[in-house]
Amino acid sequence: MNTFELNLGPINGTVQVKLLRKNIKNIHLKVFRSLDVILSVPEHVPDEWIKSFLFSRQKWIDDQISKYKKTSGHNNLLEIRNGSSTQFLGKDMRIYKEASITNRVEVDEKKVHLFVTDVEDEDLVQNIFSKWWRNTARTIYQQEVDYFYQSVIRKYGIDKPEIRIKKMKTLWGSCTPDKNKITLNEYLLKANIRCIQYVILHELTHLLYPNHNSDFYNFLTIRMPDWRERKKQLDTEVVQGL
């Protein structure tokens, strides 16, 4: 069983729960803002137990999907309309399109203003927004990588890693130590800066300790004692999980 069909009722209908069997000890159920539902379980958990577990969490899954539909992030907006919402650096923001002689994006405390030469051109609007989002993510991520590299990692004789920005459904970041490369999720820009810093230091730590062993977590805890609180905030405010 790679997927499980779960009927949530008349509002959200039927969803496909993706099942991942892994070499893990605990159960992890996550609902993403993309409305994907993923259940990770130990390799030998019986299918009948999985069905029972999902039925017991049916209301929770339904509530999370309803919540995300009300405040849909930009990654699952098929069309940007005035008043569409997204998260940006930990804040819920409203997106507004405005006609202009030049294409640009401006941000204030609660709004993202898209100034475009043709507000009816959906492809243009999406392109301007996506380009601004990606460039903003790259700038902020690079600043934080530079800071933690200089203050934490450089002393160990490791070159500053290459940064890649990518859309990812299930990971906030990944590290390839042998290529000295870190990949960061474009949608991590939804989180506040403390959560972004946690993900970046986590991935930088993998340059020293490729595996999640005790040395890895000891190093991370010394350099960022509150990383667990940051991770919990990321899991509960940007991606819901239990």
The residues pairing with 95 across neighbouring beta strands, listed in sequence order, are 84, 112
Those residues whose C-beta lies under 8 Å from the C-beta of residue 48, and which sit 6 or more positions away, are none
pLDDT of 77 above 50: no
Does residue 199 contact residue 147 with C-beta atoms inside 8 Å? no
Distance of CA 146 to the CA centre of its chain: 21
Using one digit for the tens of pLDDT, what is the confidence trace for 167-221? 887 789 999 999 999 999 998 999 999 999 999 999 999 999 999 999 999 999 9
Cβ neighbourhood burial of 112 (10 Å; 0-12, 13-18, 19+): buried
The better pLDDT of the pair 201, 122 is held by 201
**Prediction pTM value:** 0.70
Euclidean distance between CA atoms 38 and 56, whole angstroms: 15
H/E segment holding residue 19: strand 14-22
> Can you say how many angstroms the Cα of residue 72 is from the centroid of all Cα atoms in its chain?
13
What CATH number should be reported for the domain whose range is 138-241? 3.30.2010.10
Q: Name the packing angle between helices 193-205 and 214-223 (round to 10°).
A: 140
> What is the residue extent of each domain of the chain?
3-70, 74-133, 138-241
How is residue 79 written in tokens? 């069309």
**Radius of gyration of the chain from Cα atoms?**
20
Average pLDDT for 153-164: 94
